[in-house]
Chain A
Amino acid sequence: MGLSKKQIKVILLIFSTITVFLIPVFIKSQSYLQIFIVVLFFMYLTTAWNFVGGFAGVLPLGHAAFIAIGAYVSTILFMQYHISPWIGMFAGGIFSAIIGVIIGLPTFKLRGAYFALATMAFAGGIKVLIDNIDTIGPINVGGPRGILINYSGNSFVNFQWVSKVPYYYIILTMVIILVLFTVFMMKSKIGYYLTAGGEDPEAAASLGINVAKYKLIAMALSAFFTALAGSFYAQWILYISPQSVGNMNLSFEIAFIAIIGGRGTIIGPILGALLLKPLEEFTRTYIGSALPGAHLFILGLVLVLVMIYQPRGIQEIVLKLSRKFMKRISKKV
C-alpha cells in the first residue's frame, strides 16, 4: 500500500519544518547562521513585496523606503524615547502603511510604468531626505552617518541578544506568520478580488470590484509588513543608515528575487530567496573581491533569462520537478 500524495506532502512539510527549527542547533558558526538569517530576511521581504508586485499586478520599485521607515521609526523611538523596539516596530508598520496608501492613491490610476517610476522616485526622495536631515526639532535622524543603536546586552524588551540564534527564530516566526497570512488572504474574498483586479482591471470592475481599493489594501499590507522587517534589521545589525536601509539597490533586489522566483504565487518569492540569496552570498564571498559586482551581474542576467524563457518564474520548473518526484515516491513507498 502506497502513501497518498497528500500524506507525502504532509510528511515533507513536517520534516522541513523540523529541519528549519533545528538549524541553529546544528550550525554553531555565527557567520553561517547569519547567512540563514539573511535568506529568511529576504524571504520575508519578497513575500511582503508580492502583495503588490505579484497579486495586485503592478511593479513597485521602492520598497526600501518602507524598510527605512520601519527601521528609523523604531530606532528613533527606542534611542530617544526608550520605547521598546517591539512597540516601535508596529508604530513603524502603521506609519509605513499610511505612507503606502498615500503613494498608491494617485498612482494606481495611472499606467503600470508610471507606478514603477513613482515608487522609485518616492524611495529615492526618502533616501535623499534622510541623507539631508540631521535633526528634526529634537529628533536626531543622523543624516548620512546613520544611527548607531546602543547595545545593552541580552534583553527581550530591548530586542537585543549577543547570540544570533534569537534573531534567527524571530525572523523565522515572522516568515511563517507572513506566509500563513498570505495563504489565508489569497483564499479569502480579498485574495480573489486582488487577483482579479491584477489580471484584468476592467473585467474585474464589471463584476463589482473596486480595483483601486483592493490595490490600496495590498499596498497598505505590503508597506506594513515590510516596515516590520526594517525594525528587525535595525535591532539585528544595530546600525542603520540611508545607505543600508534606503538604498535603491535593495528595492530592486527585492523585486528581482520575487520576480525570478515567480511573482503572484505564494511559493515563488520564497523559492527565489532560497535559491538566489545563497548563490549571491557565495559569489560575493568567493569572487566578490576579485570581481566586485559579479553577484549583481548574475542577478541581472538570471532576471533577463527568466523573463525571456520562464516568465512565470522558476517556481513553475520547481513545481514540475517536485510533481515528478512525488509520483516516483508514491509509487515506491
Chain B
Amino acid sequence: MPILKTEKLTKKFGGLVAVKNIDFEVNEKEIVGIIGANGAGKTTLFNCISGNLKTTSGKVIFDNKDITGHKPYEIAELGLARTFQVVRPFANKSVLYNVTVGAFLRTNQKSEAIEKAKEIINFLNLSSKTEVLAKNLTLPERKRLELARALATSPVLLMLDEVMAGLRPAEIQDMLKIIEKINKKGIAIVIIEHIMQVIMSVSNRIYCMNFGEKIASGTPQEITKDKNVIKAYLGDEYGIPEN
C-alpha cells in the first residue's frame, strides 16, 4: 500500500519546467531512491512534496490525505520528515538541544522530549557529542545530526536529500548502515543521491529523473539495464552492453 503518492506533479519556475508530470509512489517500509544528474529536478520534487515549494499542478497524497499546498510544518506533523541538502543545524545550540527540538513535535513534556532525543542520539552513534555545539561538529557528524533531528519527529516517511554527498567512502558505509537500521524500525525512506552505487545497494526501487521528467522506474537491476537511464545518466561510465 503506498504511503506517499504524487499524481502528475508539475512545478514551473517562470518558463522553466523543473518537474513535469511526475507520478511517484512509496510503499510502507520501503526504501526508494531517486537518481538523476544535477538539475534533473530531484530536490524540486522533494520541496514540492514537503511543502517548501508551491506546486504548479498535480497532487501529493500522503497517508491517504491530499497534502498538496499544505505548509511544511503541517506536513511534518503528519509524519513526513525531511533533511536538507545543505545541512542546517541550529549552529549555536548543542546536539541534544537540536534533537530535542525535533522530539518536541510529539510531546509537550521536556523530560520526555530529552529522553527521546538521547535515545535517538545513541541510535545514531552520536552520544559522545551530546553536549557539543552543532557548529563544532565535523561534516559527517552534522549530517547525522540532521538525520537525528528529523528522526526525532517520529516520522512514518523520511526523505533524505543527498545525505551522502561530501562523505568519504568509509563514512558512506556507516551512513548506509544507519539508513538500513532506520528502515528496520518500519520507517519508509526516500533518498536522493547522485552517487549511483550508493543508492543501488540500499534501495528496493529506484526512480530516474532527467530534465524534470521521470524516465524510468523499477528495481535496481531493472534500472541499470534501462536504455533511457543508460543514455541519459549512466552514459559510458557504467558501460552496460546492450543486448
Question: A residues engaging B (CB < 8 A)?
Answer: 187-189, 192-193, 195-196, 199-200, 202-211
Q: Which residues of B contact A192 (CB under 8 A)?
A: 97, 100-101, 104, 113
Chain A residues with Cβ below 8 Å from B110 are 187-189
Within 8 Å by CB of A193, from B82, B91, B101, lies B101
The answer to whether A207 and B88 have CB atoms under 8 Å apart is: no
A189/B93 contact (C-beta < 8 A), A203-B84, A206-B150, A207-B76 known: no
A200 with B90, Cβ < 8 A, contacts A188-B110, A205-B71, A210-B73 known: yes
Q: Which of B144-201 contact A (CB under 8 A)?
A: 149-150, 152-153
Chain B residues near A205 (CB-CB < 8 A): 52, 71-73, 76
Question: How many pairs of A and B residues are in contact by the CB < 8 Å rule?
Answer: 72
Query: B77 on the interface (CB 8 Å rule)?
Result: yes
Report the separation of the CA atoms of residues A187 and B102 in the bound assembly, to the nearest whole angstrom.
15
Spell out B's residues near A (CB within 8 Å): 50, 52, 71-73, 76-77, 81-84, 88-93, 97, 100-102, 104-105, 108, 110, 113, 149-150, 152-153
Listed A/B pairs (13) with beta-carbon separation below 8 Å: A192-B97, A192-B104, A196-B90, A199-B90, A199-B92, A200-B88, A200-B90, A205-B76, A207-B76, A207-B102, A208-B76, A209-B105, A210-B73
Which of A187, A199, A200, A208 is close to B73, meaning CB atoms less than 8 Å apart? A208
Set A189, A195, A206: member contacting B90, Cβ < 8 A? A195
Could you say which residues of chain B place their CB within 8 Å of the CB of A206?
Answer: 50, 52, 72-73, 76, 81-84, 150
**B90–A208 touching, CB < 8 Å:** no
- Apart from A195-B90, A205-B76, A206-B52, what 16 extra A-B contacts exist at CB < 8 Å? A187-B110, A189-B108, A189-B110, A192-B100, A195-B101, A205-B72, A206-B83, A207-B73, A207-B76, A207-B101, A207-B102, A207-B150, A208-B73, A208-B102, A208-B105, A209-B73
Inter-chain contact A199/B91, CB cutoff 8 Å:
yes
Question: Shortest CB–CB separation between residue B100 and chain A, in angstroms?
Answer: 6
Query: What distance in Å separates the Cβ of A149 from its nearest Cβ neighbour in chain B?
Result: 43
Give the docked Cα–Cα distance between A158 and B201 (Å): 77
